């Protein structure tokens, strides 16, 4: 029996090592259209401390620190929060690359704001999200908007409003 299992094991091992990596990637639990980001967060989170270190050590210190902090944030999330984020990450990957870049640019500009201004802008995001498309354009042209936010913040909020128009978002 042992020899039999060993023979089977050898066969499986040889099959797995001979099959191209691209096909191996798709062989896991992920199925159907959610393949792009499938398990991305779970995989990121399940990296061992050693793997995390190895994956990030080539980054400049400040960027590495930020990436580590982001991993810790994932660690602190509940399973439900991670699932929700996983789904949204997957949708995000399906956006045209120009939209993805717009989102990243906007997020970097947002992160460069002083912390107290970030809170105000975050409140602006929240507000925009609850508005209809027509309400948004009216708000972005309003006096209130130009008085409450400086030019830099206005640009961030305008980008955010633009991104909310994406059908996938």
Partner 1 sequence: MATDECRLRTEEGVEALLEYCAGRLHAADAVVLESHLAGCAPCREFAAAQQTVWQSLDAWEPAIETQGFQSRLNARLAEDSTPAWKDRLRAWSSGISWKPAIPMAAAFALWAAISAPPRPEIPAQAEQVRPEAVERMLEDVDMLDQLKLNAQ
Judged by CB under 8 A, the number of residues near partner 1 is 77
Footprint (CB under 8 A) of partner 1, residues 83-112: 84-85, 88-89, 91-94, 96-98, 100, 103-104, 106-107, 110
d(CA 148, CA 129): 18
Strand (E) or helix (H) holding 128:
helix 115-130
**Binding of residue 14 to partner 1 (CB under 8 A):** yes
In the complex with partner 1, which residue's Cβ is closer, 40 or 148?
Answer: 40
**Binding of residue 149 to partner 1 (CB under 8 A):** no
In the complex with partner 1, which residue's Cβ is closer, 28 or 138?
Answer: 28
CB under 8 Å to 145, separation ≥6 — which residues?
139, 154, 157
CB 157, min distance to partner 1, A = 11
d(CA 103, CA 97): 10
CB under 8 Å to 67, separation ≥6 — which residues?
56, 59
Footprint (CB under 8 A) of partner 1, residues 44-83: 44, 46-48, 51, 55-59, 63, 67, 70-71, 73-74
d(CA 71, CA 162): 28
In the complex with partner 1, which residue's Cβ is closer, 32 or 151?
Answer: 32
**Binding of residue 123 to partner 1 (CB under 8 A):** no
Q: Provide the phi-psi class of 77: left if phi over 0, else alpha when psi is between -120 and 50, else beta.
A: beta
**Binding of residue 8 to partner 1 (CB under 8 A):** yes
CB 152, min distance to partner 1, A = 16
């Amino acid at each position: 029996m042992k020899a039999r299992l060993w023979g089977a094991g050898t066969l499986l091992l040889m099959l797995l090592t001979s099959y191209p990596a691209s096909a191996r990637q798709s062989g896991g639990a992920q199925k159907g259209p959610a393949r792009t980001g499938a398990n991305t967060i779970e995989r990121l989170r399940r990296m061992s401390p050693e793997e995390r270190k190895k994956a990030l050590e080539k980054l400049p210190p400040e960027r590495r620190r930020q990436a580590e902090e982001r991993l810790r944030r994932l660690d602190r999330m509940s399973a439900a929060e991670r699932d929700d984020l996983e789904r949204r990450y997957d949708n995000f990957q399906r956006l045209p690359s120009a939209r993805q870049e717009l989102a990243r640019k906007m997020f970097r500009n947002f992160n460069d704001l002083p912390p107290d201004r970030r809170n105000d802008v975050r409140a602006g995001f929240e507000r925009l999200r609850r508005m209809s498309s027509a309400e948004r354009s009216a708000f972005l042209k309003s006096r209130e908007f130009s008085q409450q936010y400086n030019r830099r913040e206005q640009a961030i909020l305008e980008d955010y409003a633009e991104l909310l128009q994406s059908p996938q978002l």
